[in-house]
């Protein structure tokens, strides 16, 4: 019998206050000024969409008393995130920019630092996918994906490091597709795997300023983009995975919160998979 066939279902992990986004803030980022690139989210069904990773991180960081600059290529989406933050009493401002454009990247980082009076942290929550299989991966599609997923984060770090305060943190949002195959998009898988190399370089180069760099690699997460992917691949929603369910954007956000906070002050150059163990099985 082929491995993985007819396995009993996994028991479902409970969804507590944190996983549901209902836990109160605890001041874990008090006074921090953080730029979240990709802090908006795709709208699939406005009435039923769950919170995406970028919006969850933006909201959570603000609840934890950080000042947040929410950047996104979609102005309306960034504004929606900011509106939600301010409605909860948080402090945030919206920025628009295309991270594949060096000039827009420089402007985005400069504006964020200026608006907040400095920069203590950056979260890079960006990623696109295109081209199914090698046959469907044209050179143009390959370049388009890597320009956003890999070149963009490099440009952000290049522009931001000189402006960042000592003791800051940079967090890259990757994917378990960087660890094991599964997305069926070679450009996406390759770009996310290469992100680990970039992260390790940034961790080394920035350590003179005591700036840490790490990665959070989500598994199957229930986000608007994940639901959009499920429409084209119905089996994704039925996948028998550890934890018995998909993760929530809040679960990704809490992992990000830990790595951006002083609680992770001695953690640098590491990859944290948020996948209930999916990356450990074949």
Percent of the chain surpassing pLDDT 70: 94
Nearest to 22 by CA among 48, 43, 51, 45: 51
Residue 130's pLDDT band (cuts 50, 70, 90): confident
For residue 3, being part of any structural domain is answered with: no
Q: Which has the higher per-residue pLDDT, 8 or 272?
A: 272
Q: State what percent of residues in the chain have pLDDT above 90.
A: 77
When mean pLDDT is compared across 133-142, 171-180, 202-211, the lowest value belongs to 133-142
Domain that includes residue 217, residue range: 33-276
Q: Residue 223 gets which letter from DSSP?
A: -
Local structure of 270: helix, strand or coil: coil
CATH code (residue 204)? 3.40.50.720
Tokens linked to 16: 């507590």
Q: Is residue 37 part of a domain?
A: yes
pLDDT at 2 over 60: no
pLDDT tens per residue across span 19-63: 999 999 999 999 999 999 999 998 888 888 999 999 999 999 999
Cα–Cα nearest to 273, from 229, 235, 241: 241
Q: Which of 10, 188, 254, 266 is catalytic?
A: 188
Ranking 41-50, 69-78, 159-168, 190-199 by mean pLDDT, the lowest is 41-50
CB 153 within 8 A of CB 198: yes
For the segment 64-81, the average pLDDT, to the nearest whole number, is 98
Tell me the per-residue pLDDT of 232-262, one tens digit each, with 9 for 90 and over. Answer: 555 555 567 889 999 999 999 999 999 999 9
How much is the average pLDDT of 270-282? 91
Is residue 193 assigned to a domain? yes
Helix and strand element counts for the chain (H, E)? 8, 9
User: Element (H or E) spanning 205, and its range?
Assistant: helix 186-206
Which of 43-52, 204-213, 259-268 shows the lowest mean pLDDT across its residues?
43-52
Q: Has residue 128 been placed in a domain?
A: yes
Residue 23 lies in a domain: no
- Tokens representing 248 are 């929530």
**127 lies in some domain:** yes
CA distance 91 to 85: 7
- Total domains, the chain: 1
Is residue 26 situated within a structural domain?
A: no
18 in any annotated domain: no
Q: Which residue has the tokens 């507590």?
A: 16
Q: What is the mean pLDDT of residues 147-151?
A: 96
Known catalytic residue at 266? no
């Amino acid at each position: 019998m082929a491995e993985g066939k007819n396995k009993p279902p996994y028991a479902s992990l409970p969804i507590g206050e944190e996983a549901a986004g209902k836990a109160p803030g605890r001041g874990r980022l008090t006074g921090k000024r953080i730029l979240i690139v990709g802090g908006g989210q795709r709208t699939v069904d406005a009435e039923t969409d769950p919170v995406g990773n970028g919006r969850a991180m933006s909201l959570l960081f603000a609840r934890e008393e950080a000042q947040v600059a929410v950047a996104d290529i979609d102005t309306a989406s960034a504004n929606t995130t900011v509106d939600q933050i301010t409605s909860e009493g948080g402090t945030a401002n919206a920025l628009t920019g295309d991270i594949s454009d060096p000039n827009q990247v420089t402007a985005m980082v400069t504006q964020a630092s200026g608006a907040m009076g400095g920069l203590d942290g950056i979260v890079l929550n960006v990623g696109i996918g295109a081209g199914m299989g090698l046959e469907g991966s044209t050179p143009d599609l390959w370049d388009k994906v890597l320009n956003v997923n890999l070149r963009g984060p490099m440009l952000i770090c290049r522009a931001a490091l000189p402006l960042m305060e000592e003791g800051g943190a940079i967090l890259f949002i990757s994917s378990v597709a960087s660890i094991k195959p599964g997305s069926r998009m070679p450009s996406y898988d390759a770009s996310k795997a290469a992100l680990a190399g970039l992260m390790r370089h940034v961790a080394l180069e920035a350590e003179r300023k005591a700036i840490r760099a790490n990665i959070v690699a989500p598994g199957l997460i229930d986000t608007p983009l994940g639901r959009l992917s499920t429409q084209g691949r119905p089996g994704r929603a039925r996948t028998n995975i550890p934890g018995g369910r998909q993760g929530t954007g809040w679960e990704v956000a809490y992992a990000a919160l830990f790595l951006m906070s002083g609680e992770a002050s001695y953690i640098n150059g590491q990859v944290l998979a948020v996948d209930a163990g999916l990356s450990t099985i074949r």
